[in-house]
Structure 1
């Protein structure tokens, strides 16, 4: 069992996981990109910018130097935005033994390559990679509210090892061998959260939100299965579970961004005011390209892309979706 764990990334999720692990008795080295955040964590024992109101246990040691954070770590939790995963992996790999387990917690795709993040990590030389996903807002995990997630890895022993590290009376962890499905579920639900947020910003009501979530899951499943995921995975925690919490909670930055877009604010203004990465924006572009490459129908994703990248008015997108040719709800067993 690991003794020292490095958490790379002191945003809300990285901090919440560091708190969880420290409460379990692990020594946690928590890396923050900015030195002023390290100083604040040291002095106040609280991440006021990203996770206010949650006190850091004694077992957390904030650091700014990646070499220092990585040294002696038996396990590394990677909690940086998806667009920073490859660079961060390159920066830390020379400090770690090849057998070190990397637990990725970002939910997205690499925009330039359209690859899943476990594929990115494998390309950078890490051969023991696990993914932690599921309905899990940092604000609630940090306060020890009941949360259930899933860990996926190509190797069963790796998944079960990570399961043992994280599982706690308030943090239940399942394992799932479908790494592809778990990653696509976690990444693509952010697109639908943007869509439901836009609908809320337009004042379209509960019926529209429910329809977007349901048909959104159909899109997610179609693309995920086409690329190797298992259909049942999308009915689980990393699929419908994560979709529900992200599309209905104000903790969700993707939903909050969508609400502002629906209210007519420009994308650049919305993103600059968020203070945190809105993963769904990049993921929309990557997923749209994958869908076109593999000839998968993703009408909601297509319309969200047009809102984000082509300045199409959101209300026109609603009309486009509602006026599509009539069809059956279930086709070929995958909606």
Structure 2
């Protein structure tokens, strides 16, 4: 196990899924005590006794410095708290613990999405519930299983306060888990949310057997959609070319460990949204975000035909072949 040599660091993790567990394991590797806040008492007891998250990350041993608990006080007495609940549940999760949050403790957002009913990015959700607490966003091309296994990964940690961002990078980073600092919180958030929608589209292409040419075209034009909205919302173009943008898009649009990609594959093979989701334990964020991003794009006057098509098929039962034909018959235009 690699550690930084810093004694008695404490990192809290809100969320007990695969990604929360992987980040808790990484926190221990970085030299911290990791306390995970769970809602499932039976799962917490099994994790502490058997040293495994058998529901969400089976087969990966949990290190001695990781503790699962139902007690928010144990988790919030920390140097930083990672928020790893799914995006659509983040507001309710925070509301349950807001009264115990210490105002100087950074909230590191690890959820990727846009809130469905409000169109809010996760930073805005955190500030709505917790007020003026320090906020950072951790995002990039990472599968939980690989991070938990200690395989190399690089990602972006965005924070408007450079000094705090750099401190957080040192707090959670190791040689095999490399956060790169950015000040572009908005760009990183938009990229992390929209890549899930585009991964569904990429999966549909694979499920319909439309070929590698089509998938390459879709991912590239999807990146253009992502960039247009991020810039319209105040993000920077270069962020979309980095780990949180292009990097995460490449991974999620091609990796079979991606829930969004495999959802799209099943959709392309003719399965319905309800049937696919009912067979899954983990949340497929892109389905919810497809609806959110369509509304946000309309608000900002940004054209996003691929994301709109995903929303129509995944959330409104639009015929897949007809929706594809509509996309393919759009007028020719300049690339940039």
**TM-score, normalised by the number of residues in structure 2:** 0.95
Say whether 1:242 aligns with 2:248: yes
Contact 1:130 1:153 in 2 (8 A): yes
One of 74, 78, 88 as aligned partner of 2:79: 74
Instruction: Report the Cα distance in structure 2 between the residues aligned to 1:113 and 1:158, rounded to whole angstroms.
Output: 29
**In the alignment, what sits opposite 2:38?**
32
Instruction: Report the Cα distance in structure 2 between the residues aligned to 1:270 and 1:34, rounded to whole angstroms.
Output: 24
Aligned residues: 329
Contact 2:116 2:288 in 1 (8 A): yes
Q: Please give the per-residue CA displacement for 1:94-133, whole angstroms capped at 9, x wherever unaligned.
A: 2121111111100001111111101111122142000000
One of 198, 203, 211 as aligned partner of 2:204: 198
What's the secondary structure of 2:36's corresponding residue? strand
Instruction: Report the Cα distance in structure 1 between the residues aligned to 2:97 and 2:36, rounded to whole angstroms.
Output: 14
**In the alignment, what sits opposite 2:315?**
309
Say whether 1:149 aligns with 2:155: yes
Say whether 1:123 aligns with 2:128: yes
**In the alignment, what sits opposite 1:187?**
193
Instruction: Report the Cα distance in structure 1 between the residues aligned to 2:241 and 2:156, rounded to whole angstroms.
Output: 13
Q: Please give the per-residue CA displacement for 1:40-94, whole angstroms capped at 9, x wherever unaligned.
A: 2022101122112211000011102223332x22211111000111122222222
**In the alignment, what sits opposite 2:109?**
104
Instruction: Report the Cα distance in structure 1 between the residues aligned to 2:189 and 2:317, rounded to whole angstroms.
Output: 29
Contact 1:257 1:274 in 2 (8 A): no
One of 280, 289, 303 as aligned partner of 2:286: 280
**In the alignment, what sits opposite 2:58?**
52
Instruction: Report the Cα distance in structure 2 between the residues aligned to 1:178 and 1:119, rounded to whole angstroms.
Output: 14
One of 224, 227, 235 as aligned partner of 1:221: 227
What's the secondary structure of 1:251's corresponding residue? coil
Instruction: Report the Cα distance in structure 1 between the residues aligned to 2:132 and 2:265, rounded to whole angstroms.
Output: 38
Contact 1:131 1:183 in 2 (8 A): yes
Query: How far apart are 1:33 and its partner, in Å?
Result: 1.7
Instruction: Report the Cα distance in structure 2 between the residues aligned to 1:126 and 1:198, rounded to whole angstroms.
Output: 41
Say whether 1:208 aligns with 2:219: no
One of 26, 29, 41 as aligned partner of 1:23: 29
Instruction: Report the Cα distance in structure 2 between the residues aligned to 1:69 and 1:237, rounded to whole angstroms.
Output: 29
Say whether 1:42 aligns with 2:42: no
What's the secondary structure of 2:279's corresponding residue? helix
Instruction: Report the Cα distance in structure 2 between the residues aligned to 1:162 and 1:91, rounded to whole angstroms.
Output: 25
Query: How far apart are 1:158 and its partner, in Å?
Result: 1.8
Q: Which runs of 5+ in 2 are unaligned?
A: 1-5
Instruction: Report the Cα distance in structure 2 between the residues aligned to 1:86 and 1:52, rounded to whole angstroms.
Output: 28
Q: Please give the per-residue CA displacement for 1:5-34, whole angstroms capped at 9, x wherever unaligned.
A: 111111000000100111222111111221
Instruction: Report the Cα distance in structure 2 between the residues aligned to 1:277 and 1:158, rounded to whole angstroms.
Output: 31
**TM-score, normalised by the number of residues in structure 1:** 0.96
Contact 2:30 2:173 in 1 (8 A): no
Contact 2:287 2:315 in 1 (8 A): no
Query: How far apart are 1:266 and its partner, in Å?
Result: 1.0
**In the alignment, what sits opposite 1:88?**
93
**In the alignment, what sits opposite 1:7?**
13
